[in-house]
Homo-oligomer: A and B are copies of this chain.
Amino acid sequence: MNTHKRIRDYNITIGSLKPGKLNAISDVAGVRIGHLTSSDGPIQTGVTAVIPSDENLFENKLLAGVHVFNGFGKSTGLIQIEELGTLETPIILTNTLSVGTAYDALVRHMLKDNPTIGGKYGTVNPVICECNDGYLNDIRGLHVKHEDIYSAIEKADTTFAEGAVGAGRGMSCFQLKGGIGTSSRLIQIGDETYVLGSLVLSNFGRKDNFVINGQTIGKSIASQAKQEEKGSIIMIIATDLPLSVNELKRIARRSSIGLSRVGGYMGNGSGEIAIAFSTANTYPLRPNDPFMTIKSLHQNHIDKVFQAVGESIEESVLNSMIASDEVTGHKGHYRDSLKNWIHLVK
């Protein structure tokens, strides 16, 4: 998977719950991640595809919930998830100005596999999430192409890179290099063990606020020019725990806990969005029976899940940073790597 060291490799352990086997969102069976990275001088951008299940998602939708902490963002598809509580496409991450291209490419990808779309069963709800990578990337150049989206989808695997890859290529976090990070947590309910994983696209935060595991490390980092918090973060949460739509919304909302613990301030210009889905129930396009049976967790037990979300998001953000090398891009803009400063952690 990663050739880069991850935050645990530096003996930094976030929270008290155990991670899954890969310590990645792909610990949830069926979830795969693919990247397409574009890195060429001023072009520092890309695409990351989150494939939520091995099945035809349009035919076998998953239950999902969304939370928008700060709606300074351009993601698509969230309104329908909020209304219906279902996810019916892969989730594509890319830069803000390429959302249209990604939407169009995802439509074409879905049409190819689903002759029913556009007919009796209506259209399809493409979910595209974005952050603004305009500091390192020539975002006005609109360098993401249709093939990049197809390619990210095709490459999707349970093992995948973190850091300055895919949609994360041009992103910044706490004025250091940010990007793609992941982690997971095991949740014990009765005799059964479930897993919850998260993947973030990190592009937010001011250096001075940066916290690692409770230590305010930001002010000790010498490098970097000052900058407004104008970024964003996309947080994707997957689990094999049976959860209702209402519970998935509540879980999405708890991702803010992990975010605050690393020093997130929800700045005015920082779009912060979380999508949570469960693979435990499917919602068929063409049901045999008018009634469905949804298995879900009684809310007396949900605090464990909230804790898992907080821990997983916190570790995912740190992984997105520690796995990133330095990047120089558009107009010679430069982002240092957390690797160069991690020794400051006591």
Q: Which residues of A contact B (CB under 8 A)?
A: 68-80, 82-85, 96-97, 99-108, 111, 117-119, 122-126, 132, 134, 139-140, 142, 189-190, 211, 214-216, 228-230, 242, 244-246, 250, 253-254, 256-257, 259-261, 264-269, 271, 283-284, 287, 289-303, 306-307, 310
Contact = CB atoms under 8 A, between A and B. Distances in A.
Given A283-B298, A292-B295, A292-B296, 16 more contacts: A71-B79, A74-B79, A76-B76, A84-B246, A99-B103, A100-B100, A100-B103, A103-B103, A122-B269, A190-B289, A211-B214, A214-B214, A214-B216, A229-B303, A290-B298, A293-B294
B80 A267 contact: no
Given A228-B303, A266-B254, A118 B139 contact: yes
Interface centre among A118, A124, A242, A260 (most CB of B within 10 A): A118
B306 A85 contact: no
A7 B61 CA distance: 43
Given A79-B68, A80-B72, A293-B294, A105 B97 contact: no
Contacts of A268: 250, 299-300, 302-303, 306
A134 B105 contact: no
Q: What are the 5 tightest A-B residue pairs by CB atom distance, in nearest-first order?
A: A71-B83, A100-B104, A260-B260, A100-B103, A71-B79
24 contacts: A70-B253, A71-B80, A71-B82, A74-B77, A74-B80, A74-B123, A83-B250, A84-B299, A99-B100, A100-B104, A103-B103, A118-B139, A122-B230, A123-B139, A228-B303, A242-B291, A244-B294, A245-B245, A260-B261, A265-B306, A268-B299, A268-B306, A287-B298, A292-B297
Contacts of A123: 74, 96-97, 132, 134, 139
Tell me whether chain A's interface is mostly helix, strand or loop, or mixed. mixed
Contacts of A75: 79
Given A142-B108, A265-B257, A125 B74 contact: yes
Nearest to A267: B303
Given A76-B76, A245-B245, A260-B260, A292 B298 contact: yes
A79 B70 CA distance: 9
Given A84-B71, A291-B295, A291-B297, A100 B107 contact: yes
A69 B300 CA distance: 18
A256 B245 contact: no
